[in-house]
């Protein structure tokens, strides 16, 4: 069995979405002064590879601890969208014969350019495309950037159309070492009660 770790590393150099809390890690207790090492970690709920909960866009919606974990484990398809120049569109998705109940991850130029700096021209999901995915009835969508939505864009459907359809959103996936194809997916967010999102460890395997 080959395992692909598609999670971003969490450390002082982790790329942070502008306006989100910075990540810090510091020693809280250290050997030999104490019998064990213990660290203090501060980070935002949408740091690194993470899951968006419906609470992210709706104060009255369930938090990340209520996400359907069955959607987070199972077969998935990685779609090569590296030809997309700005947004993933309906036309891009219509070529892929997306079916009800699928888990879909999209690999774009974001993965190929890396995660060392924030790019305003990152590839995102078009609002119409988000509605298309919701209509197709997928159960999970993942993208290789820190948000499915373009920063500063007025169209919020990349979040709302997916989340209102109970589609789990994974953001911050590193798909640079993964080719298009079928895989098994496991991605589990931290069980943070009633929160809008949570970091997760995500892997693919065959």
In a domain, 31, yes or no: no
Percent of the chain exceeding pLDDT 70 equals 100
Distance from chain centroid for Cα 144: 7
Tens-place pLDDT, residues 158-196: 999 999 999 999 999 999 999 999 999 999 999 999 999
Q: Which residue blocks in the chain are alpha helix, DSSP H?
A: 90-94, 109-113, 127-136, 157-164
For residue 156, tell me if it sits in a domain.
yes
User: Structurally, how many domains does the chain consist of?
Assistant: 1
Q: Could you tell me if residue 76 is inside a domain? A: yes
Provide the pLDDT for residue 22: 95
Beta strand spans in 37-92 (E): 38-42, 50-52, 73-80, 87-88
Task: Work out whether strand 103-107 and strand 73-80 pair parallel, antiparallel, or are unpaired.
Answer: parallel
In percent, how much of the chain has pLDDT > 90?
Answer: 96
Category of 167 on φ-ψ map: left (φ > 0), alpha (ψ -120 to 50) or beta: beta
50 a catalytic residue: no
CATH of the domain at 189: 3.50.30.50
Rounded to whole angstroms, how far apart are CA atoms 197 and 35?
34
Residue 154 binned pLDDT confidence (cut-offs 50, 70, 90): confident
Asked if residue 172 belongs to a domain, the reply is yes
Instruction: Determine the Cα–Cα distance for residues 63 and 54; give it in Å rounded to an integer.
Output: 7
Indicate the helix (H) or strand (E) that contains 198: strand 197-205
End-to-end CA distance of the chain: 6
Would 75 be classed as within a structural domain?
yes
Would you say residue 37 lies in a domain?
no
**27 found inside a domain:** no
Host domain of residue 196: 3-11+45-205
Show Cβ contacts of residue 137 under 8 Å, excluding neighbours closer than 6 positions.
Answer: 100, 101, 165
Residue in 46, 50, 56, 159 annotated catalytic: 56
Question: pLDDT band at residue 198, thresholds of 50, 70 and 90?
Answer: very high
Is residue 154 a part of any domain in this protein?
Answer: yes
Instruction: State the pTM of this model.
Output: 0.96
């Amino acid at each position: 069995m080959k395992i692909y770790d598609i999670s971003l590393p969490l450390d002082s150099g982790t790329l942070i979405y502008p306006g989100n809390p910075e990540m810090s890690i510091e020693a809280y207790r250290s050997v030999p002064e104490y019998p064990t090492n213990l660290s203090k970690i501060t980070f935002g709920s949408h740091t690194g590879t993470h899951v968006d909960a419906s609470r992210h866009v709706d104060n009255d919606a369930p938090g990340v601890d209520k996400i359907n974990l069955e959607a987070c484990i199972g077969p998935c398809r990685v779609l090569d969208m590296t030809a997309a120049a700005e947004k993933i569109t309906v036309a891009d998705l219509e070529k892929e014969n997306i079916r009800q109940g699928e888990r879909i991850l999209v690999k774009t130029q974001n993965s190929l350019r890396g995660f060392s700096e924030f790019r305003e021209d990152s590839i995102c999901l078009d609002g119409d495309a988000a509605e298309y995915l919701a209509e197709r009835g997928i159960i999970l969508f993942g993208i290789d950037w820190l948000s499915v939505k373009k920063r500063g864009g007025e169209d919020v459907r990349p979040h709302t159309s997916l989340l209102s359809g109970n589609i789990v959103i994974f953001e911050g996936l590193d798909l640079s070492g993964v080719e298009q194809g079928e895989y098994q997916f496991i991605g589990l967010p931290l069980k943070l009660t009633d929160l809008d999102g949570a970091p997760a460890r995500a892997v693919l395997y065959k």
